[in-house]
Amino acid sequence: MRLKDQVALITGAGTGIGRTLALRFAQEGAHVAVNGLQVEPLEQVAAQVRVMGRQALLAPADVSSPAAVKEMMRQVLQAFGQVDILVNNAANFGPTAPVWEVPVEQWDTVLAVNLRGALLCTQGVLPGMIQRHSGVILNMSSVAGKIGYPLRSPYCASKWALIGLTRTMALELGPYNIRVNALCPGPVEGENIERVIATRAAATGQTSEQVRRDYYLTKSPLGRMVTADDVAHMAIFLASDQGKSITGQAININAGYEMG
């Protein structure tokens, strides 16, 4: 087990990539605090973690709220004593619209969750990590953090910024033996990408199948999307001792969708 008895806090863990991360981390021996907005999905994830013989804590909170994050951290530290691994995965996907039609309120919400949320959660775990001279922080960016993405300006901007935050934190925290990396998935199979495809189809007048083919499948040399498990495998590698010399990187998991 590569993460035996490590404590991981995973935000946005009720569905999608976050859910898969929580389950795969538990399979590798980690105890897991699962964060999200909806309690029921978190309960289901926590129950599966406990079946594996690992400890699980429900930590529902809006990561964009300083007060909510402070209370979440209090509960997590009370339950586990420390956080060894933080995965900033919570995300708001925002509108699908040209930049001149993006409501500023939606812009602010996307950046509050995707960027401020990562900052607040990081600030919450850092005192303990710095004291122990040990820790891993993984920020869930995206292929959209490396390229332009028409009709997705708030999301794109937040993911570019998250890579900048990752690299800055890696420089600041390296002297404390804290590693910080960003994961940059390409299109990931599942409900989230299907919603994005549907809204893009509605915005462009194409069918969902046309969008899936033209925007996603044909842009991959492998002709496919990636899976949440693909992302989890990389996250586990980076969180474990196998990734002990990797920090400040924005690592693609995207079937060749983008190669920079």
CATH 3.40.50.300 fits 7-187+227-253, yes or no: no
The per-residue pLDDT for 88 is 99
For the chain, the domains span: 7-187+227-253
Q: Of all helices (H) and strands (E), which one includes residue 183?
A: strand 178-185
Residue 228 to residue 201: CA distance in whole angstroms: 23
Give the residue ranges of the chain where pLDDT is below 50: none
pLDDT at position 193, please?
Answer: 84
What's residue 34's pLDDT? 99
Q: Tell me whether residue 155 is one of the annotated catalytic residues.
A: yes
CA dihedral 157, 160, 164, 166 (to 10 degrees): 110
What pLDDT score was predicted for residue 254? 93
Q: What are the structure tokens assigned to 78, written together? A: 């009370």
* pLDDT computed for residue 200 by the predictor: 85
Catalytic-labelled residue, pool 155, 215, 216, 257: 155
The answer to whether 27 and 52 have CB atoms below 8 angstroms apart is: yes
Return the pLDDT at 149: 86
